[in-house]
Amino acid sequence: MIEVMAIKRVSGGRAIGTILALAATFAAACACAPSGKGPAGTAAAPDVDGAAVLALAAELAGPDYSGRALGSPGGALAAELLAERLRGAGYSVVFREFPERVPVNAGNAALETVAPDGARRSFAWREDFREIARGGYEGGRAEGPLFVVSDPEAPFPRGSILLVPGRLHDPEDDASYAARGAAGLVGELVGTDPARRPLWAGQAPGALVEPLAGFVKLGISAEAFDLLSASPPGTRALIESPLRFVDVTGRNVVATRDGDGGGPAPRLLICAHYDHVGTDPDGSYFPGALDNASGAAMAVALGEALALALPDADLAILLTDGEEVNLSGASAFARAPDFPIAGISALNLDMLGSRADMELSVYSLGDSAGSKLARSLVAALEAAGFRAAHEAPVLNLDHGPLSRAGAGAASITEYDTADYHTKRDLPSGLSDVELDRLGDALAAWALAEIAGR
């Protein structure tokens, strides 16, 4: 899920072996799937095995994929893995590429102060402070007198490093600060923490960020903010951000199954983003198990289940790249879809199977078609014993571009923020039991949706 790089090269050998192992696991899980008809003549939903979904999510969250950043070798390897699984279920799979400009951590990171008496204080990267992508300012080094901002319009000495409390930290003020001669900004983080890695720079979906220079930004914890704001008058600050913007190529995985032989014209599109936020300069990676290895794995499992249950139906699975940057993949697909999407239903899966006992959120833009789909999902989830609620308008998930292109689109998510966008988002945070129950409920709902009931 998008939040308001040095990539190490990896070998595909382990991943390809895992493809075969996971395929065998799923085949065994589906061997006992019912092949008859359910109520009112609809096909009976095959069992979606939560353990198999978790196994695929764990693979995607592993070291071979290095955080699955858009344009990275790990991201490309993830796309190949998912495509191979869907081909094995009888889908025709193509890769659709699109351009994107992404923030990577390619420089050094530092936050230090020097008091008038020469006393130095250093802060820790990913513990006390982090980069800020919002605003599109590239990183670098800046040094100057520390100035605590109490009013965004108040004057300050040129060359200052501004210390901005969270209640006053608005990216819209950055241009004014830079124009008035600030060298950089250290902003208090609110509702997040330095362990998280953000990628969205604030541009509109489908647009490339225009990088800005000459103004260095960092975000700091509340505790670090309190220490800095208590610095004696005359304290100087040195800040350095590793953030740079680079041009890369994203890759969507588009899988279709022409069940009736007349060309793919699906009634339902199941989608999920497979990208995450990559690595840090030291090579450590962000696993992204919940966000969104879980959703991508569930989309594949549902695609496999529906292919078994509905061999004569037209089916479609979309696995998007670049969601974390700017909903890039969904926007690219919506601009040039492989099949007509106006009027179809689009189910987006983002962050599923958390071990936390949470209500499922069903998001839409609040439009008529999206809201109708969301209500049907809430009813199906509640009938399966889940707590669920529809929220709208929600803009920052992949249902947005699809809905604006004419689909009735909604997202299902368990927005568990405990480990969101941190290196703690590991497969151990996922529940195979939760994934099993949810997969069965979604498979039954999808069969009814495709049947038009």
Do residues 261 and 230 share a domain?
no
Task: Tell me if 427 sits within 8 A of 287, measured CB to CB.
Answer: yes
Confidence grade of residue 359 (pLDDT, cut at 50, 70, 90): very high
Same domain, 215 and 252: no
Q: What's 262's DSSP letter? A: S
Q: How far apart are CA 27 and CA 23, in angstroms?
A: 6
Question: From CA 288, how far away is CA 298, in angstroms rounded?
Answer: 14
Q: If you average pLDDT over every residue of the chain, what do you get?
A: 91
Locate 249 and state its tokens: 């190529």
Half-sphere exposure of 277 (CA within 13 A, CB side): 26
Residue 144 lies inside a defined structural domain of this protein: yes
Domain boundary among 209, 241, 273: 241
Same domain membership, residue 265 and residue 231: no
268-285: average pLDDT: 96
CA distance 301 to 306: 9
pLDDT category of residue 4 using cuts at 50, 70 and 90: low
- Cα gap 43→61, rounded to integer Å: 33
pLDDT given at position 292:
98
What contacts 33, CB < 8 A, 6 or more positions away? 46, 47, 305, 308, 309
281 with 236, same domain: the answer is no
Residue 236 forms part of a structural domain: yes
Indicate whether 71 and 113 sit together in one domain: no
- Single-letter code of the amino acid located at 371: S
Percent of the chain with pLDDT over 70: 90
Report how far residue 6's alpha carbon sits from residue 72's, in angstroms, rounded to the nearest whole number: 9
Whether 3 is covered by a domain: the verdict is: no
Cβ 239 vs Cβ 218: under 8 Å: yes
From CA 321, how far away is CA 76, in angstroms rounded? 10
User: Residue 118 CB: number of other CB atoms within 10 A?
Assistant: 6
Question: How many domains does the chain contain in total?
Answer: 2
**CATH code of residue 392:** 3.40.630.10
Considering the domain architecture, whether residues 96 and 165 belong to the same structural domain is answered as no
pLDDT per position as a tens digit, 126-148: 999 999 999 999 999 999 999 99
Region 430-452 average pLDDT: 96
Beta-ladder partners of 252: 96
Do 223 and 313 share a domain, yes or no? Answer: no
Alpha carbon separation from 10 to 109, 121, 206, 383, 433 (Å, rounded) = 25, 38, 29, 44, 31
Q: What is the DSSP string of 430-441?
A: B-HHHHHHHHHH
Q: How confident is the model at residue 326 (pLDDT cuts 50, 70, 90)?
A: very high
pLDDT band at 13 (very low <50, low <70, confident <90, very high): very low
Domain that holds residue 121: 108-241
| Rounded to 5°, angle at Cα 424 from 422 and 426 | 115
Place of tokens 């974390």: 324
- pLDDT per residue over 381-419, tens digit each? 999 999 999 999 999 999 999 999 999 999 999 999 999
Q: Are 300 and 81 in contact (CB under 8 A)?
A: no
Residue 229 lies in a domain: yes
Structure tokens at 315: 């089916």
pLDDT for residue 432 is more than 80: yes
What CATH number does residue 185 fall under? Answer: 3.50.30.30
- In a shared domain, residues 273 and 376: yes
- Among residues 185, 220, 241, the one where a domain terminates is 241
**Chosen domain end from 210, 241, 272:** 241
Q: Are residues 323 and 230 in the same domain?
A: no
CA distance 422 to 411: 22
**pLDDT value for 43:** 63
Q: Does some domain include residue 7?
A: no
Has residue 237 been placed in a domain? yes
CB atoms within 10 A of CB 366: 15
Per residue in 104-123, pLDDT (tens digit) is 999 899 999 999 999 999 99
